[in-house]
Amino acid sequence: MTTSITARIDLVPLSAGATLSDDASVVMVAEPPDGTGAGARPKEVLLAALAGCTAMDVAIILRKKRQAPATYEVAVSGESADEPPRVFTSILVEHRVSGDVEPEALRRSIELSATRYCPVSAMLSAVARVEHRYLLLDAAGTTHEATVAVVGPDREIRVIRDT
């Protein structure tokens, strides 16, 4: 399967608009002084892609498990190397869920996304340590949190099963 996009570059101020396969678009900007800095930077778009990819996997798996989250968000942060090209060296993915969801169902859903289904996570973990964790406020008001999996460039996948 081939994925294709086209990016149109505006040279002053420096920005790029990418047209995706379904004619949707993503606009990215350069940091000052070359660009305005007002908008998404390419590395932020990469983290957004990771958040969206894993969130969609987890939501689909939770639905199949008949779990009913009331709210669901994914927060992603990345640490970059100091020297160019300043690649991500570690990334934290935190799934924040509330509602009628069993901790083990959420844990397993995140594990499957992190280790099997999310291609963005797989690509990023080839060069950076990616930690997947969750914070769950269940229907009874109890808070659950755990690290689910850590994957990285050493190709080792560490799944944490205790919740």
Q: How confident is the model at residue 160 (pLDDT cuts 50, 70, 90)?
A: confident
pTM of the model: 0.92
Instruction: Please give the order of strands across the beta sheet that includes 15-19.
Output: 6-10, 15-19, 25-29
* Per-residue pLDDT tens over the stretch 66-125: 999 999 999 999 999 999 999 999 999 999 999 999 999 999 999 999 999 999 999 999
**CA–CA dist 108, 117 (Å, integer):** 12
Given a cut of 70, is residue 162 above it in pLDDT?
no
Which uninterrupted H or E stretch holds 57? helix 42-64
Give the domain extent around 122.
Answer: 42-159
One domain, residues 34 and 61: no
User: Is there a single domain that holds both residue 30 and residue 61?
Assistant: no
The two three-digit tokens of residue 160, written as one number: 């944490």
Structural domain count, the chain: 2
Question: Of 152, 143, 54, 141, which is closest to residue 95 (Cα–Cα)?
Answer: 54
